[in-house]
Amino acid sequence: MPMKICYPALEDEEWKFTTGSDPKNTPWSYHNGGSWPTLLWQLTVACIKMNRLEIAERAVEVSERRIARDKWPEYYDTKRERLIGEQSRLFQTWSIAGFLVAKLLLETV
């Protein structure tokens, strides 16, 4: 999935201090390194501005293969975004919108 909220994830004492040991923000999950599909459109805009369309095209391609099959989750967990987030809600409008806007932006370039 396109972008992580925090990268790299906070770990060990830094994680405990910053998040108060909040279990949903464990390393590589939720706000602590989780990947959020809604950020795909912002990534696409940045790629267009920097003339790096191949990055946005690849991110949309990866999303296109997975996100609908995964039922439009709120976020993904793990370093490689392999798991739908443990606390993730499905059929999220912001995930769908981020994907659609990214596709439209690439079609208009």
Q: Give dist(CA 86, CA 30) in Å, integer.
A: 8
HSE of 62 in the Cβ direction (CA atoms, 13 Å)? Answer: 14
Q: Give dist(CA 26, CA 17) in Å, integer.
A: 12
Tens of pLDDT, residues 39-86: 999 999 999 999 999 999 999 999 999 999 999 999 999 887 889 998
**Model-level pTM?**
0.82
Q: Is residue 41 helix, strand or coil? A: helix
Q: Which tokens belong to 92?
A: 């999220």
Confirm whether 66 is domain-assigned: yes
Domains in the chain, number = 1
In angstroms, how far is the first alpha carbon of the chain from the final one?
A: 22
Domain ranges, residue 33? 12-108
Q: Which tokens belong to 59?
A: 């991110």
* pLDDT bracket for residue 2 (50, 70, 90): low
Confirm whether 92 is domain-assigned: yes
